[in-house]
Each structure stands twice: as C-alpha cells, then as structure tokens.
Structure 1
C-alpha cells in the first residue's frame, strides 16, 4: 500500500512539472495574450500602506499593458495586446523573502518550493485563467528610503515585487513590475550584480550608438540609463525604457 502511495505521489509530481513546462512553452509561442494577476500586499502592516492600497484601481496599471503592446509592435509580434493585467484583492500574508545572495543551492530550492506553495494557496480567482501571479509588496515611504531587490521565478511564473506605497512612486513602480514580469518569461538581468551598472552591450538600449553616451533610454532588464562609462541613473517610468533585442529573444519575441 505504501509503495502504491509513493508511486501515485511521484506520478502526480511529474505530471504537474510536465504541465508547467508545457504551459511555459505555450506562453512563449505568443499565440494568445498572457493574463497577469497583481495582488497587493501591505508589507509593513502600515495604516498608510492600507490607505494607499485602497486607492489602487486596475486602470492604474494600463500603462503596463500599453508598454508591452508598444514594444511588441517594434518586434512585429502578431498580438496587439500580448499581456493583460488584472488587479486582484489584497493578500494579508507576506510571501517568504528569498535567501541571501550567498545562500547555498538547497536553500534556494527550498525557498522556491515554499514560494510556489504560497502562490498556490493565495491566488484569488479573477474571472479569467491566470498565467502569471505577481505579489506587489507595498512599503511605507515614511519608513523606507530604499527597498530590497524584488524576485521572480520562471518556474511557476510568480514574482515577489517590492514597491513604494505613494502616488509619486507609481511610475517607477511600473518599471520594477515590468522587469520582474519579464523574469517570469525567461528574461535575464542585464546589469552587473556587483555594481548594478548596465552591462555593455546587452544592458544598453542603443549599444552601437555613436557617441555611446549619454544613452537616451534604459534596457528594461538593466533598469538604468547609462550617462557615461561610470555613471547611470534609474529609469523614472516605462517611457524611459525599451525591451532590447537580447531580452526579446529570451522571451520568444525575436529569433
């Protein structure tokens, strides 16, 4: 009996993994729009954050849809609206933070499994099948001047996104959301993990521009606009970013 239970368990695990691989493959074919759920989370248990979250509306995230539509057009994608965003209800529980950068491989695997379990438990229905789930962890601007790096997983297509709870920060927040969303689609970071500086050429919006500096826009997976060989500034909004060709290849938009 115990052997039968083990066999059934492993068959279920393998079947689930194969279904996820198939779903990821289908998504990268871009034959239909991907639906993204945005679940706000009060990361500070703050009344200020609760008040800000209460003002959020789905229309506030239309700039993200417009951004991906604009960039898809540049790559001649057949879909005019490749990604659709849905604002879900607030989530009371905070997803577990990822381990430190120097954590061992097993710690990272266990965290990944716990995060995927969290997402399975916290996915309020939104009326459409959801392809990607992003948990938007809002922080009080009165107590935070900097935020930890956000994290997203391609396996499971889930993200844990650290954001500021302030209207003035919304445009910058959308840059972070777009960046993490692209991670769930297989895009890699295009900045140096030690210095946070955009990598040349893949982290530059126009890597072959002459003169090279100052760049006019940021590659979304680098997040910063290079102004000189040793100076760059954060993109303030989505209009200051593009999806570069290396990233477009990673997500299946270009060959």
Structure 2
C-alpha cells in the first residue's frame, strides 16, 4: 500500500512538471496572445498608496500593451497584440520578500516555493484564465527614497514588482513592469549587477550606432540609456525603450 502511494505521488509530481514545461514551451511559440493579471498591493499600508491604488484604471496600463505591440511588429510576430493586461482587484496580503542577492541556494528555493504558494492563494479572477501574474507593490515616495529590486520567476510565471505610488512615476513604473514581465518569459538581465551599467553590446538599444555615445534609447532588460561607457541615465518612459535582438531571441521572437 505504501509503495502504491509513493508511486502515485511521484506520478503526480512528474505530471505536474511535464504540464508546466509544456505550458512554458507553448507560451514562447506565440501562437496566441498572453494574458497578464496585474494585482495592486498597498505595500507600506500608507494613505498615499491606498489613494493611488484606488485611482488606478485598466487604461493606465494600455501603454504597456502598446509597447509590446510596437516591438513585436519589428520582429514580424504574427500577433497584432501579443500581450494583454488585466487589472485585478487589490490584494491585502504582501508576497514574501526575496532573499539577499548572495543568499544560499536553499533560501532561494524556499522563497521560490513560498512565493508560488502565495500566488496560488492570491489570484482573484480577472474575467478569464491568465498566463502570468504580476503583484504590483506600491510605496509612498515620501517614505521610501529607494525601493528594493523587483523580481520575477520564470517557473510559475509570477512577479513581485516594487513601484512608487505617484502619478509622475507611472511612465517609469511601466518600464519596471515590462522588465519583470519579460523575466517571466526567460529574458535575462543585461546590465552589470555591481555597477548597474548596461552591458555592451547586449544591453544597448543601438550597439552599432556611430558615434556610440550618447545613446538615445534603452534596452528594456538594461533599463538605462548609456551616455558613456561609465555613465547612463534611467529611461523616462516606454517611448525610450526597445526590446533588443538578444532579448527577442530569449523570449521566442527570433529563431
């Protein structure tokens, strides 16, 4: 009897893994648009964040859909609107914070499982099944000068995105959301983790420009517009951001 239970357990585990692998593969074939649920969270329990979240509307995230449509057209993706965003209801719980950058592997694994458990418990309906869930953690800029790095998991297609609760920050917030969303689709960071400067050439929007500096656009997985080999500035909005060829290849837009 115990042997039968064990076999049944491992069959379930292997089946779940195979289903997840197939879903991940199928999503990157881009045969159909991906659906993304956005769940706002008042991360610091401030009145500013609460007011900002209450003011959010679905159309506030339309620039994200427009950005992905514009970039997909450059790679001749056969989808006019490859990604659709759905604003979900506010969630009262906060997903577990990620471990430190140099944390041991077991801590990262534990956190990953905790985050997946959180996402399983906190996924209110948005009107249809979704492929990706992003939790938008809003903070009062008067209380927080700097926010911790956002993070996302390719396995599970979930993201934890730290944002400022201020209308003037909405264009930059959109860049951060796009960046983390692409992480869920296997895109990798294209900046130096120590200096935060874009890596050349993969982190440059225009790696073959002459002269090379200053650049006018940012590669989305770098986020910064290089002004020189050592200096860069944050892109001001998605109109200053592109999806470069290395990123397009990682997410299945280039073969």
Q: Do these two structures clear the TM 0.5 threshold for a shared fold by scoring above it?
A: yes
Question: Who is 1:208 aligned against?
Answer: 208
Distance 1:139 1:7 in 2: 47
Question: Who is 2:191 aligned against?
Answer: 191
Distance 1:2 1:126 in 2: 41
- 1:28 shift after superposition: 0.3
SS at match of 1:228: coil
- 1:4 shift after superposition: 3.0
Question: Who is 2:115 aligned against?
Answer: 115
The answer to whether residue 16 in structure 2 is matched with residue 16 in structure 1 is yes
- 1:18 shift after superposition: 1.1
Question: Who is 1:226 aligned against?
Answer: 226
The answer to whether residue 60 in structure 2 is matched with residue 63 in structure 1 is no
- 1:127 shift after superposition: 1.5
SS at match of 2:227: strand
Number of corresponding residues: 255
5+ long unaligned stretches in structure 1:
none
The answer to whether residue 245 in structure 2 is matched with residue 238 in structure 1 is no
Distance 1:13 1:230 in 2: 48
Question: Who is 1:125 aligned against?
Answer: 125
Distance 2:9 2:97 in 1: 28
After superposition, where does 1:1-255 map in structure 2 within 5 Å?
1-255=1-255
5+ long unaligned stretches in structure 2:
none
1:147-190 alpha-carbon deviations (Å, 9 max, x no partner) = 11000000000000000001111110000000000000000000
Distance 1:56 1:16 in 2: 36
Distance 1:60 1:7 in 2: 49
Distance 1:128 1:81 in 2: 17
- 1:141 shift after superposition: 1.0
What is the TM-score when the length of structure 2 is the normalising length? Answer: 0.98
What is the TM-score when the length of structure 1 is the normalising length? Answer: 0.98
